[in-house]
A and B are shown apart, each in its own frame.
Chain A
Amino acid sequence: MKFSTKGVSEKLIPWLVPIMLLVGWQLFSVLGIIPSRILPAPTQVFQAAIDLSATGELMNHVSISLGRALIGFLIGGIIGFAFGLFNGIFRFAELFFDTSIQMLRNIPHLALIPLVILWFGIDETSKIFLVALGVMFPVYINTYHGIKSVDKGLIEMGKAYGLKGKALFFHVILPGAMSSILVGVRFSLGVMWLTLIVAETISAHSGIGYMAMNAREFMQMDVIVLAIVLYALFGKLSDVIAKLFERKLLRWNGT
């Protein structure tokens, strides 16, 4: 009995501070200590969410942003993963590509925004391109290092037990690199949102970032804050999903 109450309270305690902040914020807004020109009350933001949902506008922007995030993440992630694998496994590929990739990695991808707009305009392509570019490097680096740092003793053991090629890869190398790969994935999810926010804010005609920029022109504080809250929620959500994957794929070392 005591044990289970402890479990519940441990789940609840982390939420106390956010809830208190929210209540305080609401209180100060109602009392007029925070003017709504500076920050709207939580209830106003909530109301904005309801209003925008009713017109279908919110759903539209959210699904467009999520689509960009996902497609960009998949493209960048797959390219980064593939290069990480090849360069980690094949010495030739490593010699051929690694230095170039490391050089490109040092360019902040957001610095390319002006160029990307000139290349692709402000349509979907430019956003997806930037997200993919940002996601690619953390996935690459962590996959590459994960493969490189698989215990040589385990590889030797695998070979001594007759594993080679595909079997050696799937039984020894990939699982050995998995925790590092997942670190890369988690990190790149953060990069994904950051890139999307910046790209949508600077130039777009749809998406959460556009919704915020558009609201700024009409001084709709509640919508701006709503956009920020949405980004925070999606950021948290992707982190939770990444953690779930980690827990599932790395069960063996969580004992």
Chain B
Amino acid sequence: MREKEPTFHIETEHVEKNYPGRSVLKDINLSIKKGEFVAIVGKSGCGKSTLLRLLAGLEMPSKGQLTMDQRPLAELNSEARMMFQDGRLLPWKKVIDNVSLGLTKEGKDRAKKALQLVGLEDRMTDWPAKLSGGQKQRVALARALVHEPSLLLLDEPLGALDALTRLEMQALIEDLWQQKKFTAILVTHDVEEAVAIADRVIVIENGYISLNQSIDLPRPRQRTSTPFSMYLDQILDRIMGRTQQRKITLLRSYPNTTKV
């Protein structure tokens, strides 16, 4: 029998996305393995959320194709669940009803289990307005996980949290990812966060992927270690447009890399 080719969970081929009068994504080529944790960073407005919306099937690309398990994505991606920066809990539904949104009646039990995963089973019957920012994001995480998605899309989910809560949430997300083995794509503007939890960091710039960097560090990662800060420097250099080669040359630029 022929050796099975390493198949990718998600692939984007020459994906472009234009809005009237504005070209946001120009040529996005990505291959993501099953169970991989990818972080996407880039300046505000560079199209990170747009890319996630394409992956969620909420919008279709203007050109190119996205595939999931080799199947082209033509409608809402039922295997993907998205978590948003502002949580987007429905304020008129209690926590438990937010988590079981879109589930049938028996979903209540699953919702309870999901809330246990994020440590909030005792807040089930509260209104979202009563929760802190971090708790709201935990509920949002539970709501995403209750569907057992094979792809979890995280759109700056921790951007609005204070530093300590953010560290806690990063650990929680990493932990659940290791338990549940879903593929995760995290958009963040915090490069340290990206290096701390992702297998690979992607930088989007001017509509192209300008850096695609594996992070070969054992978990849990020591944020103070030298290799960690070398990765950090290198990615920051890329984003800030400092082009000089730094200490490490681990990076392998991809063919479509643009130099600015």
Interface residues of A (CB under 8 A from B): 153-154, 156-163, 167, 171-172, 175-176, 178, 250-253, 255
Rounded to whole Å, the gap between the CB of A151 and the closest CB of chain B is 8
Q: A154-B88, A167-B102 are in contact. List 19 more A-B contacts (CB 8 A).
A: A153-B84, A154-B90, A156-B58, A156-B88, A157-B84, A157-B88, A158-B101, A161-B102, A162-B102, A163-B101, A163-B102, A172-B90, A175-B92, A176-B92, A178-B92, A250-B92, A253-B92, A255-B127, A255-B129
- The 6 A-B residue pairs with the shortest CB-CB distance, nearest first, are A157-B88, A175-B92, A161-B102, A252-B92, A162-B102, A160-B82
Interface residue ranges of B55-108 to A (CB < 8 Å): 56, 58, 76, 78, 81-82, 84, 86, 88, 90-93, 101-102
Are A160 and B127 in contact, with the CB atoms below 8 A? no
Q: How many pairs of residues, A versus B, come closer than 8 Å at their CB atoms?
A: 51
Q: Is B221 an interface residue (CB 8 A)?
A: no
On chain B, the residues within 8 Å of A158 by CB distance are: 101
- Name A159's contact: one of B58, B84, B130 (CB within 8 Å): B58
Q: Which of B56, B81, B101, B129 contacts A253 (CB 8 A)?
A: B129
* Contact partners of B86 in chain A: CB under 8 A: 153
**Smallest CB separation, A156 vs chain B (Å):** 6
Q: Which residues of chain B are within 8 angstroms of A250 by Cβ–Cβ distance?
A: 92
Chain B interface residue bracket vs A:
20 to 34
* B101/A171 in contact, CB under 8 A: yes
User: Nearest residue in B to A176 (C-beta to C-beta)?
Assistant: B92
The answer to whether B90 and A161 have CB atoms under 8 Å apart is no
A-B contact pairs, 13 of them (CB 8 A): A156-B58, A157-B82, A157-B84, A159-B58, A160-B56, A160-B81, A160-B82, A162-B76, A162-B78, A171-B90, A171-B93, A176-B92, A178-B92
Docked CA distance A172–B84 (Å): 16
Cα-based distance from A175 to B102 in the complex (angstroms) = 16
CB pair A159 B90 closer than 8 Å: no
* B82–A252 touching, CB < 8 Å: no
Closest A-chain residue to B128, C-beta based?
A: A252
Q: What residues on B are CB-neighbors of A154 within 8 Å?
A: 88, 90
Closest to A160 in B: B82
Tell whether, in the assembled complex, residue B127 and residue A252 are in contact, meaning their CB atoms are under 8 Å apart.
Answer: yes
Q: Mark B228-257, 1 if CB is under 8 A from A, else 0.
A: 000000000000000000000000000000
A-side interface mostly: helix
- Would A160 and B92 count as touching, CB distance under 8 A? no
Q: With a CB–CB cut-off of 8 A, which chain A residues contact B90?
A: 154, 171-172, 175
**Cα–Cα distance between A171 and B76 once the two chains are bound (Å):** 19
Which residues in B have their C-beta under 8 angstroms from that of A178? 92
B88 contacts across to A, CB distance below 8 A: 153-154, 156-157
**A153, B102: Cα distance in complex, Å:** 17
- Shortest A164–chain B CB gap in Å is 8
* A161 → chain B closest CB, angstroms: 4
Closest to A161 in B: B102
- What does the 1/0 interface line of B126-167 toward A look like (CB < 8 Å)? 011110000000000001000100000000000000000000
Q: How far is the CA of A212 from the CA of B253 in the complex (A)?
A: 88
Chain A residues within an 8 Å CB radius of B130: 255
B92: A residues at CB distance < 8 A: 175-176, 178, 250, 252-253
B127 touches A159 (CB 8 A): no
- The residue in chain B whose Cβ has the minimal distance to the Cβ of A153 is B88
Nearest chain B CB to A247 CB, angstrom units: 14
* A160 lies within 8 A of B58 (CB): yes
CB pair A252 B102 closer than 8 Å:
no
- A253 to B129 CA separation, bound complex (whole angstroms): 7
A172 cross-chain contacts in B, Cβ below 8 A:
90
Contact A252 B81 (CB under 8 A): no
Residue of A nearest to B57 (CB): A160
Q: Which chain B residues lie closer than 8 Å to A251 at the CB level?
A: 127
Among A159, A161, A175, chain B packs the most CB atoms within 10 A around the CB of A161
On chain B, the residues within 8 Å of A252 by CB distance are: 91-93, 127-129
Q: How far is the CA of A251 from the CA of B128 in the complex (A)?
A: 12
Q: Which residues of B contact A159 (CB under 8 A)?
A: 58, 76
Contact of B81 (CB < 8 Å), options: A161, A163, A167, A175: A161
Which chain B residues lie closer than 8 Å to A167 at the CB level?
102
Give the complex CA separation of A250 and B129 in angstroms. Answer: 12
Q: Complex: how many Å from CA A162 to CA B81? A: 10
Could you tell me the distance between the alpha carbons of A175 and B93 in the complex, rounded to whole angstroms?
Answer: 9
Chain A residues positioned under 8 Å from B143 (CB to CB): 161
